[in-house]
Amino acid sequence: MSRRSLIATSALGLAAPALVAGATFADRPASAAAGATQRITIYAEALPGGLFGYGLAPGAATVPGPILEIWEGDTLEITLVNTTTQRLSIHPHGVDYSTDSDGSPLNASYNNPGETRTYVWRSREMIAATGRRFMPGSAGYWHYHDHAMGTDHGTAGIARGLYGALIVRRRGDILPERQFTVVFNDMMINNRMAPDTPMFEANLGQRVEWIAIGHGGTFHTFHLHAHRWADNRTGMLEGPADPSLVIDNKDLNPGSSFGFQVLAGEGVGPGVWMYHCHVQSHSDGGMVGLFLVRNADGSMPAGAEEAIHRFQGHSHSTAAHQAHGD
């Protein structure tokens, strides 16, 4: 998973230290883009097993698709290449777009089979309103998905893997060292069931970002063992007086998304920690995966191998996991 995010980060220029507007947003007109326009090409492709995926290069499609990141104020111009035989589109949450980038059949905004089409997603900082209030900016842990395959709401496209995470960062936000996308989609996680669900990995103390997305037709709650977060924009408290709820379990229903950062194993130590849907029949049915927190030097912590073997119900080498996780 971190593999894919690094690609995305590189593609979108996040590696460059982009610092920081401060409180200057109020004296810019709302329509002015604060920053740069990033241009990427996304390939929608058929995958084995009846799945479909988005990818940043031909043959690179994955489920979920790549993590897309921009700074608040920037514009993302996406050339979507539909390599499939199905009608499909890409529809974002949280950002600004005209009707022709809506990604919906309602607005005739989709790719026919084999068609290439450009979608423009803009973002902006908060806008001062009257009464010392602000119309919200675009910063957030959002997501994107198909809105045209199967039905006018993209029900078949979503069911078969056409979704991914979209992050709009505010200047000054803390950048993570690792990123994981977790999509609860009907009774699956990233269209997989245990023990084939993703095992995410980090070293003790690394700053890890989780982006959780809900899809499909069933209700879910996302739970992570031994870590917690604030139920606000960043998942961290914005100051000692931030009143936000601190939680380790949150509703994750269709169309919703949230994100947060934790320090891997902070206060609890390394080991194998579960993330799962807390609806009992869902976790029992396979909506569970592993978060492997390695020792700070990257070595396996005591007991981790045994836990992984218990989870998988068959022998599986550590090396193989490393290959998957990095």
Give the number of residues written for the chain.
326
Residue 284 to residue 267: CA distance in whole angstroms: 28
**Smallest Cα–Cα separation from 161: which of 185, 196, 197, 195?**
185
**Smallest Cα–Cα separation from 143: which of 200, 114, 202, 103?**
103
In the complex with a second copy, which residue's Cβ is closer, 4 or 125? 125
| Smallest separation (angstroms) from a second copy to the CB of 275 | 12
In the complex with a second copy, which residue's Cβ is closer, 84 or 261? 261
Structure tokens given for 34: 């604060």
Residue 62's alpha-carbon distances to 159, 251, 254, in angstroms, are 14, 25, 20
Q: Identify the helix (H) or strand (E) that includes residue 201.
A: strand 199-203
In the complex with a second copy, which residue's Cβ is closer, 43 or 142? 142
In the complex with a second copy, which residue's Cβ is closer, 48 or 239? 239
In the complex with a second copy, which residue's Cβ is closer, 251 or 326? 251
Structure tokens given for 189: 């996680």
| Smallest separation (angstroms) from a second copy to the CB of 153 | 4
| Smallest separation (angstroms) from a second copy to the CB of 255 | 3
Query: What is the amino acid identity at position 148?
Result: A
Structure tokens given for 263: 């320090």
Structure tokens given for 135: 């119309």
| Smallest separation (angstroms) from a second copy to the CB of 46 | 20
In the complex with a second copy, which residue's Cβ is closer, 7 or 33? 33
| Smallest separation (angstroms) from a second copy to the CB of 176 | 12
| Smallest separation (angstroms) from a second copy to the CB of 90 | 14
